[in-house]
Each structure stands twice: as structure tokens, then as C-alpha cells.
Amino acid sequence: MQLGMVGLGKMGGNMAERLRRGGHDVVGYDSFSEKRDVESLEALVEALEAPRVVWVMVPSGEPTRATVRELGELLSPGDVVIDGGNSKFTDDQEHATELGAKGLGYIDAGVSGGVWGLENGYALMVGGSKEDVAKAQPIFDALKPPAPQDEAGQPIEGAGFVHAGPCGAGHFAKMVHNGIEYAMMQAYGEGYELLAAVDLIEDVPGVVASWTQGTVIRSWLLDLLVRALQDDPDLEKISGYAEDSGEGRWTVEQAIEHAVPMPAISASLFARFASRQSDSPTMKAVAALRNQFGGHAVQAVEAAEPPEAENPA
């Protein structure tokens, strides 16, 4: 099958390569990459045979919106645009309406797999009409991981790919996926900190590595933490500053809107906010309050030594 790929960064470039390995014809465009096959979006559209399928893999927000708008002016009725970035699901619904008025199909594809997807495959959560998804199914089949097998050696259908619903459903599913990811990473991080804080544990990386087999908390994320600790056992080379992509925020917003309790995901998001404060105003207020109601010692900003131990309130 032929596909146009717009965006050849870490994800888009690897996805294009995986598709080519799978026997598909990929025409790539990226204004910032020397790996591009054509010099413009217009040239990309001209290089594809109708009906065309164009996958957009650029940063979410205005870069994606602008690319979709331009493709809407260049493509022909019956063509399909796939947004595989991390767009908000409400953007998808707007894009589907705008492109649909021109006879164009639209699919939103939540993609998970990171830089490892080239070899391992990508988990795909897509939203759109059955007709449009069917047009792109060979692409999805080439990108997703090989089907795992059950105990009888039979493939487990559906693993790694889902047509989640109409336009917006794919990115909504990926949004929730990333919210869960926030909470899992936070739990691993907190467990690591406690292990490192006590003298009793002499081999922190070894403990974490021991959890990767036969335990209920084993996961690919845990494997990646083991890898990080192998490179830097005390994580001395890494700052404790953690950004958020936006999807954690959107997940919490939707939880509030639908009255779904999400204490773990919410706490993990707020922990990332806290990581960006070298001297937390909140904790300044907490320290001041403890001093006011209980006379507990506080530490001045310029103090070199910590305050003396105090009795609990």
C-alpha cells in the first residue's frame, strides 16, 4: 500500500521505516529533515496515487492544525488524513467536520511505542468511520506488534490495535493511556526513592531488576527504569524536573467533567508540577503555618545548616 508520511522525527521516521520493511511504499515529507522524499506537501500529494492516505506525525496543537488545513486544500474527495500525534480529541472532531465537508476522510490514531516501536511495533488506538479505517487497515497491520499467543499457542486477537469508536475516540483512548502512564511512573519513582533512602537496602538497582520477572508489578516501564539505573545507578546525571505532555491534564479535566475519581493520576500530574519548583511556595506556607501554630523551627533561605530536630505537634 502507498502512504504519505508528514513528519519524519523520532516517531514518524521510525514508523516510515517499519512500513517500508513491511513492503509498503512510503513517501515522506518533513521540512526539517534531510530524509524527506519530496520538498513540499503539494509535491507529496502529487506523488501519491488516488485514493490517497496521508499520515500526519507532527507536534500537536497548531502545527497539526495547520498541516491538516493545508492537506484539506490539496487532497481530493475519497482521500484520508490520519493524525497520529498527541492531539486533543476535541481537535479531531473539528478536523473530521472540516474535512468531511470536502469529501475527505479523517482518522485519529493514538500511537504508543516510542523509539522502540521500529523493532517492537506500535500499539494503535484509532477513531473514525469503519470505511476510512478499512482503507488504512494494511498500514495499521504493519505498524502494530506481532500478535501475542495464548497458552495454547493461538494468536490473541485485538492485542496492539483497536478501532475505539468515531473520530476523537482514538486520541481519547491514548489520553487515558498516558494518564495511567503518569501514575505508574510516579509509583515506580516513589518506590525507588524509598529504597534509596534507607541504609538497609545495599543494592537498589538489583532490587528493581528483581521485580521484572514473576511479580505483579513487572512492566515495560519497569524494564526501562532498570535500563536507566544500569546507566546511572544513583540517577546523578538527571535533574528531577519532569514535564507533562498535556495528556495528563486532559485526562484529569475529563475525570472532573464526568465525575470519575482519579486520585492516583491527579496526584502524579501535580507531582510533576511540584518537580519544577526549586523552592515550593506551598511548602513555604506549610513551614510558616507549622511555626505559627506549634512554634516549630523554620529554615531561613540563607541558612547553611538544617534546623534542629523538633518534637512532633
* Structural domains of the chain sorted by starting position, each given as residue range(s) with its CATH number in brackets: 2-167 (3.40.50.720), 175-274 (1.10.1040.10)
Active site residue 181: yes
Task: Flag the least confident range among 81-90, 147-156, 202-211.
Answer: 147-156
- Given a contact cutoff of 8 angstroms between Cβ atoms, the answer to whether 82 and 55 are in contact is yes
Average pLDDT, the chain: 91
Which pLDDT score is estimated for 150?
79
- The one catalytic residue in 88, 135, 144, 174 is 174
Q: Is the pTM of this model over 0.75?
A: yes
pLDDT at 188 over 60: yes
Among 87-101, 215-229, 235-249, the range scoring the smallest mean pLDDT is 235-249
Q: Is the pLDDT of residue 312 over 50?
A: no
106-115, 123-132, 151-160, 232-241: segment of lowest average pLDDT: 151-160
Buried (b) or exposed (e) across 199-237, using 16+ Cβ within 10 A? eeeeebbeebbebeeeeeeeeeebeebbebbeeeeebee
Region 42-52: mean pLDDT is 97
Among 39, 181, 253, 302, which one carries the catalytic annotation?
181
Residue 230 binned pLDDT confidence (cut-offs 50, 70, 90) = very high
What is the model's pLDDT at position 61?
93
For the chain, give the number of residues. 313
User: Residue 244's pLDDT band (boundaries 50, 70, 90)?
Assistant: confident
Q: Give yes or no for residue 16 having a pLDDT over 60.
A: yes
Q: Check residue 301 and give its pLDDT.
A: 60
Report for 149-158, 225-234, 255-264: range of highest mean pLDDT: 255-264
Q: How far apart are CA 112 and CA 118, in angstroms?
A: 11
- With vertex at residue 244, the alpha carbon angle to CA 19 and CA 83, rounded to the nearest 5 degrees, is 35
Mean pLDDT of 225-232: 92
Tens of pLDDT, residue by residue over 276-307, are: 887 777 777 777 767 777 776 767 665 444 44
3-state secondary structure 94-118: HHHHHHHCCCCEEEEEEEECHHHHH
What is the model's pLDDT at position 291? Answer: 77
Burial of 34 (0-12, 13-18, 19+ CB in 10 A): exposed
205 grid coordinates: 538497582
Mean pLDDT of all residues in 118-134 = 96
Position 169 scores a pLDDT of 98
Going from the C-alpha of 298 to that of each of 277, 286, 295, 313, the distances in angstroms are 19, 10, 9, 14
pLDDT digits (tens, 9 = 90+) for 129-152: 999 999 999 999 999 998 877 788
Residue 130 known to be catalytic: no
CA-CA-CA-CA dihedral for 135, 137, 139, 142, to nearest 10? -160
Which pLDDT score, from 0 to 100, does residue 298 have? 67
- Is the model's pLDDT at 73 over the cut of 70? yes
User: According to the 3-state scheme, what is the secondary structure of 254-286?
Assistant: HHHHCCCCCHHHHHHHHHHHHCCCCCCHHHHHH
d(CA 123, CA 82): 15
Beta carbons within 8 Å of 176's beta carbon, 6+ residues apart: 251
- The C-alpha angle 70, 71, 72, rounded to 5 degrees, equals 90
Task: Please give the Cα distance from 182 to 189 (Å, whole number).
Answer: 11
pLDDT confidence of residue 297: 73
Could you tell me where the DSSP H helices lie in 75-203? Answer: 89-100, 117-120, 130-143, 169-197
